[in-house]
Structure 1
Amino acid sequence: MKILRTGDALTVTRNLEDNIDSEREAVQRILASVKKEGDAALLEWTKTFDHVTLSSLQVSEQEIKEAYEAIDQKTITLIKEAAQNIETYHKNQVRASWFMTNEEGTLLGQKVTPLAAAGVYVPGGTAAYPSSVLMGVIPAKVAGVSRIVLTSPPMRNGKLTPAVIVAANECGVHEMYKVGGAQAIGALAYGTQSIAAVDKIVGPGNLYVALAKKEVFGTVGIDALAGPSEIAILADETANAAYVAADLLSQAEHDVRAAAVLVTTSETLAQEVKQHVALQLEQLPRRAIAAQALDTYGLIYVASSIEEGINIINELAPEHLEIMTRDPYQELASIKHAGAIFLGRYSSEPVGDYFAGSNHVLPTSGSARFSSGLSVDDFVKKSSVIAYSQQALKHHGEKIAAFARLEGLEAHARAVELRLEEQ
Structure 2
Amino acid sequence: MLRIITQQADVRAELQRICDRTQDEQLLHKEATVREVLQAVKRQGNKAVLHYTDEFDNQILKPEELRITGSDLDAAYQQVSKELLEAIRLACNQIETFHRQRVPKSWVHFGDDDVVLGKRYTPVDCAGLYIPGGRGVYPSTVLMNAIPAKVAGVPRVVMVTPPRPQKAIHPAVLVAAQEAGVQEIYRVGGAQAIAALAYGTETIPKVDVITGLGNIYVTLAKKLVYGTVGIDCLAGPSEVLIIADETANAIHVAADLLAQAEHDPMAAAILLTTDGALAKNVQVAVERQLVDHPRRLDTEKAIAHYGLIVIVESLEAAAELSNDFAPEHLALEIADPWELLPQIRHAGAIFLGHSTPEAVGHYLAGPSHTLPTSGSARHACALGVETFVKHSSIIQYSQTALQKVAGAIDVLATAEGLPSHTDSIRRRIQQEE
**RMSD between superposed Cα atoms in Å:** 1.1
Aligned-residue offset at 1:7? 2.3
Cα distance in 1 between the residues matched to 2:74 and 2:24:
44
Give the corresponding residue for 2:5. 4
Equivalent runs, 1:12-91 vs 2, <5 Å: 12-14=18-20, 16-19=22-25, 20-55=27-62, 56-91=65-100
Q: Which digits, 9 at most, give the CA deviation of each residue in 1:124-170, with x for residues without a partner? A: 15631101100110000000000000000011111211011101111
CA distance 1:17–1:305, shift in 2 (3 Å): closer
Once the two structures are superposed, the pairs formed by residues 307-326 of structure 1 within 5 Å of their partners are: 307-326=316-335
Output the CA distance in 1 between the equivalents of 2:313 and 2:22. 32
**CA distance 1:402–1:15, shift in 2 (3 Å):** farther
Equivalent of 1:178, from 170, 187, 203? 187
Following TM superposition, by how much is the alpha carbon of 1:17 offset from its aligned partner in structure 2, in angstroms? 4.2
Whole-angstrom distance in 1 between the partners of 2:177 and 2:134: 16
Deviations 1:7-39 (A, max 9, x none): 211223325443212211111111111111111
Match in the other structure for 1:348? 357
Contact map agreement 2:147 2:181 (CA 8 A) in 1? no
Deviation, structure 1 residue 67:
0.7
SS at match of 1:104: helix
Give, in angstroms, the shift of residue 53 of structure 1: 1.7
Q: How many angstroms apart in 2 are the aligned matches of 1:74 and 1:295? A: 36
Residues 125, 154 of structure 1: 8 Å contact kept: no
| Sequence identity percentage | 47
- 8 Å contact kept, 1:57–1:178: yes
Aligned to 1:269: 278
Between stretches 130-139 and 1-10, larger displacement belongs to: 1-10
Rounded Cα–Cα distance in structure 1 between residues aligned with 2:365 and 2:248: 22
After alignment, is 66-75 or 360-369 more displaced? 66-75
Output the CA distance in 1 between the equivalents of 2:156 and 2:392.
Answer: 21
Q: Number of matched residues?
A: 423
Q: Which residue identity is paired with 1:13?
A: C
Cα distance, 1:295 vs structure 2:
1.2
Question: TM-score under structure 2 normalisation?
Answer: 0.96
Kindly report structure 1 stretches of 4+ aligned residues shifted beyond 6 Å: none
- Contact 1:322-1:349 at 8 Å conserved across structures: yes
Amino acid corresponding to residue 14 of structure 1 in structure 2:
D
Residue segments in structure 2 that go unaligned for 5+ positions in a row: none
TM-aligned CA distance change 1:141 to 1:250, over 3 Å: same
Which whole-Å CA distance do the structure 1 matches of 2:171 and 2:240 have between them? 29
Residue type matched to 1:138 in 2? I
Contact 1:398 1:417 in 2 (8 A): no
